[in-house]
Structures are given as structure tokens and as C-alpha cells.
Amino acid sequence: MAKSAVSYSDESLVGAPIDLNNCDREPIHIPGLIQPYGFLLCLDEASRRVVQASANTRDLLAITPEELIGGGLGQLLEPEQLLEVERIWPTLTEQSRLLGIRLGRVLNRPFYKLILHRYDGLLWVEGEPMADNDTSVLDLPSLNLTLGQLLAAETTQAMCQSAVEQVRALTGFDRVAVYRFAPDDSGEVIAEAVREDLPPWLGMRYPATDIPKQARAMYLKNWLRFIPDASYVPTPLLPAHRPGATRPPDMTYAVLRSVSPIHIQYLHNMGSQATMTISLIEDGRLWGMITCHHESPRLVSYELRDLCQFLGKTMSALLKTKQQHDELAYQTRISQTQTRLFELVSTQENFLHGLYRFSPTLLDVFDCGGAAICFEGEIITLGNTPSKAQITELVDWLRANTHQDVFHTNSYAQLNPAGRAIRGTASGVLAIALAQDPGEFIIWFRPEVIQTVTWAGRHEKNQTTVDGEIFLSPRQSFEAWKQTVEDTAAPWLPLEIEAAREIRLFISDVRLKIFNELQARATNLATLNAELERSNDELDSFAYVASHDLKEPLRGIHNYSLFLLEDYADKLDADAVSKLQTLVRLSQRMESLIESLLLLSRVSRLDLSPETANLNEDLADVLDLLSPRIEQTHTTVVIPEQLPTVRADRVRLREVFNNLLTNAMRYNDRDEKLVTIGLAPATVRGPKGTGNPADFYVFYVQDNGIGIAPKHHDNIFKIFKRLHAQDKYGGGTGAGLSIAKKMVERHGGELWVDSVVGQGSTFYFSLSKHL
């Protein structure tokens, strides 16, 4: 990637002071210095002779650099060790390789492990002391568990959190964090495992200048950088240039390479004395880093660092898959919500109702703050939106300035200065045009990110002056400060834009279908009206026959049965009398069933007469009508709060309350019966989840009666369905709840029950606020 590439042509800066103009060209790959915790030997590839040595070999190996230069490794190794090295030379690459032999004790000095690589025309031999944690790190069960956790993580965030916890457990660093780069090369700490008494860095942002471009290029080449003691004094290579060279050797892949003094000062300002950084690379791009910090010097063994690097490479290999999974999960959520929304739109007589009256709504399709439907001069809003007047101004702007079917921006205020007035709810706008007619849109809104981004320290680097020369030093303060990104919302993702386009096309198809159906209906309107009139006549005839012709002979059967009982009971035996009594009861029940059936049919056919209804007054009338029954059954009716005024057919609504109250008293075998009537919280919703909760009132009638088993909660609303014998709980036809349910549904609501056997029942019913 262009931002990460770096040219190594800036070698003219070697030895020159680093100032504000050239800090991003500091030649950090050719410092000519190493960290002094180990030693370095550079060998000529052809002769295998030492041409450069670190100045600290006298202290570490008791051999001066001058003694080493010109000789071979036989000065340090036993003959069998030297033979092993000779076999390895041809296989070396720029990647460091730990040698399987150890440099033995010299004059009571510690053991050193040797690390080899080939680069810049040299063979590199680095010696690193044995660390306190130099134990075997190849614990296959633990490694299997660690890799399993990275693989099993369902999201990128979960994988990053798992990685920092595992690296901290392996290394014992005070803090391990994942630092992710943004498109502008700034970075953010997105996961962290930290010692409990240290302040968190999670969520901190750092400017791009904290990791200059040449440092990012180094991180792309060398996966791991380790500094065990940030207070070190660098050790030079002797001589500074190998014979025939004009510059120091390129130490890009050297483990001991000394880092920029600016970076060392930066670490001091952070309070970090030891650090290790592992690159996270996705498709050749530096995606981020696992960065480790310790408040005191800490030497971590090469083997343990190599294991951490392996984990970093494994995590890098998984990054693309995890991020695709994150995107797929959101895409799946959008697709499922969209499919359900399409079903609602398709099944509504008015397709607009499917967009906002039920669940899910347009607002649920995307992660956004609000939505608006602008159609045929009406504006319907959902969630947090600008005012309708402001939406009208936005629609006017869209009509004048956009000509595409789908429009999106994450900074409306940058396109239209008037947008600053609505940036709190609508910095981001995604709009689809519904038709060729101007002014018909569906719009989604995203608020301004009062993106308060927490930056670590000051955004600018400080300057220090020495002898009149301006030098660059890192930021001195790490107190968080806030930068507010104004007029900007989170950007709309390509998959969101595509989903909006699909919604537009679907609505266009629905409208076309509606238009074709209207055309067909208009063609056959006369025929349909005639058929409807005939059907209504037949229904009226049926109602007349059922109420008169059927009831009249039934009443005759009932009466003649009574006459026979009155006049001939003494002449009939007991069995005949019993059969006549049964005939009387059956005729009475049949008449009740016919009356119930007629009432249910009438409820379905009669038009509602909605009016403003004060439920407190209507409920008082119902209670007055039922007062003898209430007193007779020792029932206490409680209404804990005032009920609202609604739009409803008052006669039908009284019948609903009458039915539910009657059932509450009938199906109760307690000596003291209690019925509570009230308004349920807005969170209570019916089993169908119909509509937006804000558009409905939900009422309840609760009793302490016999209760209803869950398996019967649906059956009780079926016509003529009774759960008890005819001679129990006052009889009845079993049609009352069916009639009440039909009345509630005619008002656009639902009727349902919540009950436990032996503990009572609560019947809920909802009423639309927009009848």
C-alpha cells in the first residue's frame, strides 16, 4: 500500500539532526547501532570472515572487536558447532533463525543463544543471553487451546480480545493491546489485557505521526520488534562501514537493531521500560499491531517471542475471514429484517402500513437513528428525526439537487449549509425516491457522531531547541483530550446502500401490482357490485331465516315439551319424563347457540361507529349494569388508575368489558373474588406483535379465579369451545370470547390471555390510537 511503502534512498540523513521537516525520513533501518543486551557479528558472505562487530564484545565475550574482525566463528565455537553452522549458511534467508547450539560460558559469563540470518550481502550472527523464562514453550495442548480460541472467536473484536489475553498470559507483560490502523493511518486501541492497577488505554486514539511511514514499512517486513530495556545506551558497530561500503549495513531484520531515539523518548513518556510489538498484516497491508508494555525492564526469551509472533501470524491469516464474518452477520440481519418487512408490505391493504405500523419497521432495517416516509403530501416519522418542517426542506433540497434513485451522504451539512440545523439527528442521510412524482421519498437518518474521539496526549509533537537548532521530540503529555468531528455521521456501507435500492425496487413492484389490480377492479366494478349486492341479500335472507324460521319451530318444540311435562307427567314413567326434560334443555341450548352465531355474524358485518370514548365513564356503566351479579358473587373490582380517552365504537367496547368481567366472576371458585382492570405498560405486546407499541393502548382484566392451562390459551377463543361440562360454572355457549375477540380485531387490536392454573387469568386487549 502506498502509505506504507518507504524508499531507502534517504541515507544522506545518517548522522544528520532529525527535525520537523525530515522526521518521517529518518533512516531507522541503518542506525549502525544495536541494543547492548546482546552482541552482533557481521560476516562477509564469501569469506565467512567477521567484517564488523559490536563494540560490547569485550564486555560480553571477553574478546575485543579488533580481535574478532578478520577471523571466523571458530574463535567462539567448538569444531562440531562450527560444522553445524557451516551446514546452515546456504539455507539462510532474511528471516531470523535460532541456532540449535549455545555459546558456552566464557570467563564466567552467561550462556548465549545464537540467531542467524542473511541480508544486505552479509551473514548476521547475533548473540542473546539466556532469559529467566528460557524454558520450553512448546506446550502442544496449550497451543492447541490457544489456536482453537482464535479460530472459534465469532467476531474480529472477540479474536483480538482473545489474542491479547493469551499473549499477556504467555509473556507476563503489564499491558498487551491490539492497536488497529484507520484509513488515515491514525490508530485506535480496540482490545486490551492490562494489570489491574494501571489505567486503561482501550478506545484511545493516536495520530498517524506516532508511527511514521518508514516505521510502518519496517513493521511490514519484520513481524516482531523487541526492546527489553528502553533505558539502554546504544552500542555501535565497529567499524561503522564494512570494507568497500559507503553506509552502515541495513539492519531491517536484525533482532538487536537499535531503534530511533525519538521512539525511546516516546516510550519513556508512556512510562514503558520494555516493549514488544507484533505486526498484524492483512493482504500485504499493515492492519494493526499487538503491542506489549512493561513498567520495568523485561527480557523475554527468543523462543517465547517466536511463539507470540506465530500467534500474530495466525491471527493475521484469520483477519480477512473474521471481518467477512462480521460483515456477513450484519448483512444477514439486514436481509432477514428486509424479508419480514416485505412480507408485511405485501399483506397490507395499504402498503405504507407495512412500513411503519408493525414490527419490524423501516427503522429496524439499518443501524440508524430515525426514518421518514414522505408520500402523497404526508410525512410519517419513526425514531429520532428532524421536525416535519425540516424534513420538508430536506425533500425540497433532494428534489432540486439529486437525480439518482438512491442518494446518500454522511455529511449533509457539507452539501447544504442549512443542514447544520439538523446535524444532531440527520448528519447522515440515505434517501430513496419512491416514484417519478417529485417529493416522494423514504429517508433514513444518522446523527452526528459527536464523534468525541479520545486522543492519547496532544495531537501535535513538541519541539525542543538545542543551540538554536529545532529538533523533534515526542509528545510530553498523555492526558486524554477530545477532538470533536462536526457535521459527520458514520458512513453508509455499500451493503446498506444496496439494501435501500432493493427496498425501492420492491415498493415499485408493489405499487405497479396495486395499479394493475385497480385497473382490473375498475373494469369489473359493475359486476363486482352486483355480486356483492346479491351476496348481501343472501346473507340478510339467511339472517332472517335463522332468526325467525329456525327459531319459531324450535320454540314450538320447546313449548310442546313443557306442555307434555305439565299435562302428562303423572301418566308417564320416569324414563319418559327424563327424556322430555332433556329435550327442553337441548332446545334451550340450541336457541342460545343460534343467538350467539347471529351475534358473531352481526359483529363481522356491522360497520363500527367510532367516537371519542371516555373509558372511565363507559366502564362505570358496565359495572353498574353488572352490580347485582358483582354483589351476589362477592366480587371486588379494582381500577388502580384513570383510563385514557380513546376512539372506539362505545357499544362494542362495553360488550368486550362486559364479557371479560362476566367470565372473571363466572370462572372463579374463591369466596372472595378480585378483578383488576387497568392500562398495561407500553412494553406489553400481543403474541402477534402487531404494530408500533407507541400506536396502541393495551388494557387488561385480571382475576384470581381458576386459571387456564397454557395448552388451552388459543382454544378458548374458538366459537362454541368450552373447557368445562355444561353444568359447571354457569353453563354458557362458549361464544363470548370469540365475539369479544372479533370486536377487538375490528378495532385493529388483539385479544389474548396470560394465565396459570389455580392462580387466575389476565386477559389483555389492544386498541389502536389511530382508529
Phi, psi of 619 (to 5 degrees): -65, -35
Distance (Å) of CA 476 to CA 402, 461, 713: 49, 8, 70
Q: What pLDDT, in 10s, does the model give residues 715-750?
A: 777 655 555 445 555 455 556 787 788 888 888 888
Q: Which is nearest to 312 in space by CA: 275, 343, 337, 287?
A: 287
- pLDDT at 710 > cutoff 90: no
When computed from its CA atoms, the radius of gyration of the chain, rounded to whole angstroms, is: 42
Residue 584: count other Cβ atoms within 10 Å of its Cβ.
17
> What H or E segment, with its residue span, contains residue 379?
strand 378-383
- For residue 521, what pLDDT is reported? 59
In terms of residues, how long is the chain? 771
Q: What pLDDT, in 10s, does the model give residues 66-89?
A: 999 999 998 888 888 888 888 989
Do 208 and 26 meet the contact criterion of CB atoms below 8 Å apart?
A: no
CA distance 95 to 92: 8
Residue 235 grid coordinates: 552500542
Q: Which is nearest to 293 in space by CA: 365, 433, 198?
A: 198
Question: Between 606 and 66, whose confidence is greater?
Answer: 66
Confidence of residue 545 (pLDDT cuts 50, 70, 90): low
Q: DSSP code of 614?
A: E
- pLDDT at 537 > cutoff 90: no
Confidence of residue 458 (pLDDT cuts 50, 70, 90): low
- Cα 473 from chain centroid (whole Å): 41
- pLDDT at 398 > cutoff 80: yes
- For residue 420, what pLDDT is reported? 92
- For residue 449, what pLDDT is reported? 76
> What H or E segment, with its residue span, contains residue 611?
strand 611-614
- For residue 16, what pLDDT is reported? 47
Which class for 487: exposed (0-12), middle (13-18), buried (19 or more C-beta within 10 A)? Answer: middle
- For residue 741, what pLDDT is reported? 84
Of 82-91, 209-218, 548-557, 651-660, which range is least confident?
548-557
- pLDDT at 21 > cutoff 60: no
- For residue 151, what pLDDT is reported? 87
- CB neighbour list of residue 288: distance below 8 Å, 6 or more residues apart: 178, 179, 180, 181, 187, 190, 280
- pLDDT at 39 > cutoff 90: yes
Residue 699 grid coordinates: 388494557
Residue 548: count other Cβ atoms within 10 Å of its Cβ.
9
State the pTM of this model: 0.58
Q: Which is nearest to 194 in space by CA: 268, 90, 292, 126?
A: 292
- For residue 624, what pLDDT is reported? 87
Q: Crossing angle, helix 494-523 and helix 525-544, to 10 degrees?
A: 80
In this prediction, what percent of the chain has a pLDDT beyond 90?
33
- For residue 22, what pLDDT is reported? 46
- pLDDT at 437 > cutoff 70: no
Question: Between 458 and 112, whose confidence is greater?
Answer: 112
Which class for 323: exposed (0-12), middle (13-18), buried (19 or more C-beta within 10 A)? Answer: middle
Interval 101-116 mean pLDDT: 70
- For residue 101, what pLDDT is reported? 66
- For residue 386, what pLDDT is reported? 95
For the chain, count helices (H), then strands (E).
20, 29
Alpha helices (H) in 485-573, listed in sequence order: 494-523, 525-544, 551-568
Of 129-138, 153-162, 171-180, which range is least confident?
129-138
Q: Which is nearest to 137 in space by CA: 167, 159, 111?
A: 167
Question: Between 102 and 81, whose confidence is greater?
Answer: 81
CA distance 75 to 103: 11
Confidence of residue 560 (pLDDT cuts 50, 70, 90): low
- For residue 20, what pLDDT is reported? 39
- pLDDT at 554 > cutoff 70: no
- For residue 684, what pLDDT is reported? 81
- For residue 467, what pLDDT is reported? 45
- CB neighbour list of residue 729: distance below 8 Å, 6 or more residues apart: 666, 667
CA distance 505 to 528: 32
Confidence of residue 6 (pLDDT cuts 50, 70, 90): very low
HEC profile of 387-426: CHHHHHHHHHHHHHHCCCCEEEECCHHHHCHHHHHHHHHH
